[in-house]
Structure 1
Amino acid sequence: MLAQSFEEFVNSLQLDNLDDINTKFRTITKRLNMSYYDGSTSEEEHGYKVGSLGRQTAIRGISDMDMLFVLPKSKYTQYNNYEGNGQSALLQEVKNELRKRYSNEKIIVRGDGQVVVITFSNYEVEVCPAFENKDGSYTYPDSNHGGTWKRTDPMVEIGESEYMIDHTNSHFKYVCQMVRAWKNNIGFKMGGLLVDTLVHKFFTKNPDYVTATFEDYLFLFRDLFSYLKGQNKEQKYWRALGSRQHVYDKGKAFINKAEKVYNKIKDLTEESEDLYEKLQEIFGITFPVPETVQKAELSSFAYRSASALATTEQYIEHMFPVDIKYSLKIECEVSAKGFREGLLRVFIRNKKPLLLARKLRFYIEENEFKEKHKDMPIPVPFDIYWKVRNRGQEAIKRNCIRGQIKEGTSQIEESTDFMGGHFVECYIISNGVCVARDRINVPIFETPFHMKVKS
């Protein structure tokens, strides 16, 4: 039964827009071949899907496609000898060539100055112009700091991923995809290459799991999260699978997040009463719960009452594709009678109780998406959504579970009223995709507490 749930969940993670992505890829490749290879109309030559799509570890909701287009050597000579920032000039030329095909889409050189970005509905294509080296690696432009050339070796990474997928009967791919689902559900930034690299290292260090099946997944993920939480926070980089290029993770948020998950999963068995509840907390609300388990839960009066009211709750996964690429942090200011008492996270850390008649102002403290795009030549719009969820017997009794997701501004105001393990979530939506999310728990079990939106 559990194995079937894991298998169904993995199936639900597979890409549902691959045909559209492939069409865009072929069209872009054809346009650039026409521009750089004597009018060639080939839809395949010189173009390569790289990144998680190339490594076959992408999941449904992916918001970007990474591709390389290999330019003639003459272009390298031209822009290497360019007076000024040749790398920037090369990117601008490729952008102008793409405009001949995509005149209505937004086409920019991204803020990191390494790719040309074409924005479509729900996802972007990041085109990296490159030059092939004798060893099979590629040289690509970086327009920052006056312009430099950099090296990348994605084909070796793709080859190693393909080998591991075959070697593990596709379970390397599935585990990489489920780690992405965990990252998207919890809401923290972790690069796809780092995900695949660490999962690769895990399988290498634990060869018994090479022959794993879905029957083994509960124990596999227990050991995987144990491995992830054990990573060195002082480590500057990891060596990528295949290429061994440096893979960085500045914040290393995944280490603490993995420790929390490990503590949830370490004692679980298939007989645990809260098994599926915990797995949904880890991997998201779409993790399948068997019908027999649902029927058993429905036998509880409390569960029936909660289920009847929980129809008010909405889930961001049902409203937008989720692909977390940026960090987001929300905070809450607690005040009484106009005087500031402190921050909610500090209250919780110090086990200081919230009292009645307190005002709570939830606000965005850090929004990496906004910071990353503030200097772009064309403003990148985004929307902010909030969710306030009340939990506990008092919320059920008062028919006040709430949980609707509503568009808002950078802050909302709430007030205390009754007990429960409540929470507030915030989401950043860009181009129809949830690219950042954060949650702040309000675990009040001894102090009456409830949240009412003021504005």
Structure 2
Amino acid sequence: MGLLNDFDTFCSNIKLDNLADMKKTTEEIAKKLNTSYYDLDNETELHMYIVGSVGRNTAISGSSDLDILFDLPVNVYRQYNAFSYNGQSALVQAVKKVLKEKYTSTNIRGDGQVVVIAFDKYTIELVPGFKQVDNRFKYPDTHDGGSWKYTDPLSEQSACADCETKSEGKYFDFCHIIRSWKNNIGFKMGGLLIDTLVYDFFDINECFAGSPQKNYLEILQALFEYLKNQDKDRSHWYAMGSHQRVYNSEKGKYIGKAKEAYDKIKDLTIGSDNANKILRQVLGNSFPKVQGKTERSAQYVHIKECYDCDSASEEFIEEKFFVDIRYDVDIDCNVTQAGWRPFLLRKFLGEGSTYLRKNKKLAFFIEGTDCPKPYDVYWKVRNVGAEAIRRDMVRGNIVKESGLHHIENTVFEGEHYVECFLVKNNVCVARDRIEVPIGTL
């Protein structure tokens, strides 16, 4: 029963843990907008809706965005719909101005369809909308001269809650687990796409109703198999409840990542000696190290013992920052040595080469990222193996650097690796890792 209990611990570790704070902020915003638009003083709940992943109960610890929707009076719609040009933009700016009266020192901006409020702990994206008789919301889109569009978050929330009930409490857990996997591996995958794919998977499996008590390993193996078999060229999926299109904006990048995950865990069983080690590699450090051992989230506990006992000082990004991967970053390494032609490490390894030789200079660099500036860059170098232990050079500390490059040298053999993290507003929003295998010669 150890591994089954470890999944329970893991799911508890990654649950959203600042919902109360988010709700408090949402109530403050609702109070301000209700006063301004409805002449209702001290009203903190009416007309305000928490939507997005938090509203669907599928967000996890470290989530850096909160999506909310405020239902405005119909006369406000008539006012801005009567504009000859882009009344939608004028509406967004008007709501922004009202909120700026309350949050005078906070960065608030209008961004397309939303008002963005950048708090230190998380960013709120507020959609000003108008509730319709069918419970959808009409909202402004400021692009291309302005237009009105529709969204249906309440039906999505209802469908998710229904799946959670039918699955006897499993659906939300696996929405959380896939988010943790995405953050640990480091690639973009939208929250609505995650929830839709997990919903579809549960739907075709009859929500695993009546299945053995939380046999999460078998369900996870089947889920990764389902994800890896998706069509990377498919243009869109339909969201649960609302049936809105969820577009394949990342060209199915998650499919290849799911295949890698499936290959790692497909042969695991409840009794596998290395199950926790492999599951931590896939799902992250919040998964317990040893079967049956209860751990708090790695976000709040400094790990005093290293993984595989190589080092007592290895640092993990989850210990330093919240992790919510929202952007891509790709790193590579330029390998040079006097008298030899330079080459790129990823190409070298991709062509079937096994090891680097000693005495080479390694210049790691950020090849590209879609993360908007400003952001801070952190690097981590991890040396692995008996030689690293003998020399007391396991390392594994996370260091902030001013540039986009990091210089190392090949010194001794081992299956080493280097990681890069982009941190924005105290949240790790992008990460990448490159293996650095060094041979004996």
Task: Give me the TM-score of the superposition, normalised by structure 1.
Answer: 0.90
- Indicate the structure with greater helix content: 1
User: Alpha-carbon deviation of 1:311?
Assistant: 1.5
Counterpart in the other structure of 2:65: 64
1:121 match = 120
Deviation at 1:364, TM superposition (A): 0.9
1:453 match: none
Q: 1:231 to 1:336 in 2, by over 3 A?
A: same
Distance 1:206 1:442 in 2: 41
Q: Distance in 1 between matches of 2:307 and 2:189?
A: 34
Quick check: 1:133 aligned with 2:135? no
Measure the CA separation in 2 of the matches of 1:179 and 1:318: 20
The question of whether the paired residues in 1 share the 8 Å contact of 2:6 and 2:293 is answered with no
- d(CA) in 1 for partners of 2:157 and 2:421? 32
Letter of the 2:270 counterpart = E
1:213 is displaced (CA, Å) by 5.6
AA of the residue aligned to 1:401: V
The residue that corresponds to 2:357 in the other structure is 355
The alpha-carbon deviation at position 420 of structure 1 amounts to 1.1
User: Match for residue 429 of structure 1?
Assistant: 423
For 2:396 and 2:94, the matched residues in 1 are separated by 48
Query: 2:232–2:253: 8 Å Cα contact kept in structure 1?
Result: no
C-alpha contact 1:422 1:441 (8 A) present in aligned 2: yes
Give yes or no for the alignment of 1:99 onto 2:100: yes
The answer to whether 1:399 aligns with 2:392 is: yes
Which one-letter code corresponds to 2:285 in the other structure?
Answer: I
Identify the residue that residue 175 of structure 1 maps to in structure 2. 174
Alignment of 1:179-198 (within 5 A): 179-198=178-197
RMSD over equivalenced CA pairs, Å: 1.9
Cα distance in 2, alignment partners of residues 277 and 309 from structure 1: 14
Kindly, what percent of the aligned residue pairs are identical?
44
Q: Write the letter of the residue equivalent to 1:185.
A: N
CA distance in 2, matches of 1:216, 1:243: 30
SS of residue matched to 1:211: coil
- Specify every segment of 5 or more residues in structure 2 that has no aligned partner in the other structure, as ranges: 295-304
In the TM superposition, what is the alpha-carbon distance from 1:255 to its structure 2 partner? 0.3
1:92-145 residue CA offsets vs partner (Å, 9 max, x unmatched): 1111000111112111123xx111111112201110001122322111112122
Question: Any idea what SS the aligned residue of 1:117 has?
Answer: strand
Match of 1:287 in 2: 287
> What amino acid is the match of 1:382?
Y
Q: CA deviation at 1:85?
A: 2.2
2:182 is paired with a residue whose SS is helix
The verdict on how the C-alpha distance between 1:342 and 1:137 changes in structure 2, with shifts beyond 3 A counting, is same
- The superposition leaves residues 13-34 of structure 1 with CA deviations (integer Å, 9 ceiling, x where unpaired) of 1222111111001010111111
> What is the DSSP-based 3-state SS (H/G/I as helix, E as strand, rest coil) of the residue aligned with 2:91?
helix
Please state how far the C-alpha of 1:291 moved relative to its aligned partner: 6.5
- 2:189 and 2:417 map into 1 onto residues whose CA distance is 24
- Would you say how many aligned residue pairs link Structure 1 and Structure 2? 427
Question: Residues 306 and 286 of structure 1: is their aligned pair in 2 closer, same or farther, counting only changes over 3 Å?
Answer: closer
What residue number does 1:31 align with?
32
Structure 2 Cα separation of the partners of residues 2 and 305 of structure 1: 20
Contact preservation (8 Å) 1:116, 1:127: yes
Distance 1:272 1:412 in 2: 38
In the alignment, structure 1 residue 318 sits paired with structure 2 residue 311 = no
**Distance 1:83-1:395 versus aligned 2 partners, 3 A rule:** same
Query: Residue 422 of structure 1 aligns to which amino acid in structure 2?
Result: H
Name the amino acid aligned to 1:423. Y
Which one-letter code corresponds to 2:165 in the other structure? D
- Report the Cα distance in structure 2 between the residues aligned to 1:91 and 1:85, rounded to whole angstroms: 10
Q: Following the alignment from structure 1 to structure 2, what is the Cα–Cα distance between the partners of residues 324 and 292?
A: 29
Query: In structure 2, how many angstroms separate the alpha carbons of the residues matched to 1:305 and 1:73?
Result: 59
> Which residue, out of 427, 438, 445, partners 2:432?
438
The 1:230/1:19 distance shift into structure 2, 3 A limit, reads same
- 8 Å CA contact 2:6, 2:292 repeated in 1: no
Matched, 1:203 2:196: no
For the pair 1:257 / 2:257, whether they are aligned, the reply is yes
Q: C-alpha displacement at 1:308, in angstroms? A: 5.6
The yes-or-no answer on 1:369 pairing with 2:371 is yes
Please tell me the residue identity of whatever aligns with 1:367: T
- For 1:213 and 1:177, locate their aligned partners in 2 and report how far apart those are by CA, in whole Å: 20
List per-residue Cα deviations over 1:318-358 (Å, max 9, x = no partner). Answer: 11111111111111111222865221110001123422222
Pairwise CA distance, 1:313: 0.9
**Using the alignment, how far apart are the partners of 1:165 and 1:215 within structure 2?**
13
Residue 212 of structure 1 and its aligned partner are, at CA, apart by: 4.0
Query: Could you say which residue in structure 2 is the equivalent of 1:301?
Result: none
Distance 2:34 2:56 in 1: 24
Deviations 1:226-253 (A, max 9, x none): 0000000110000001111000132221
One-letter amino acid of the counterpart of residue 421, structure 1: E
The answer as to whether partners of 2:201 and 2:226 remain within 8 angstroms in 1 is yes
How far apart are residue 261 of structure 1 and its match?
A: 0.5
**C-alpha spacing 1:134/1:265, structure 2 compared with 1 (3 Å):** same
Q: TM-score, normalised by structure 2?
A: 0.93
Stretch moving more, 327-336 or 282-291? 282-291
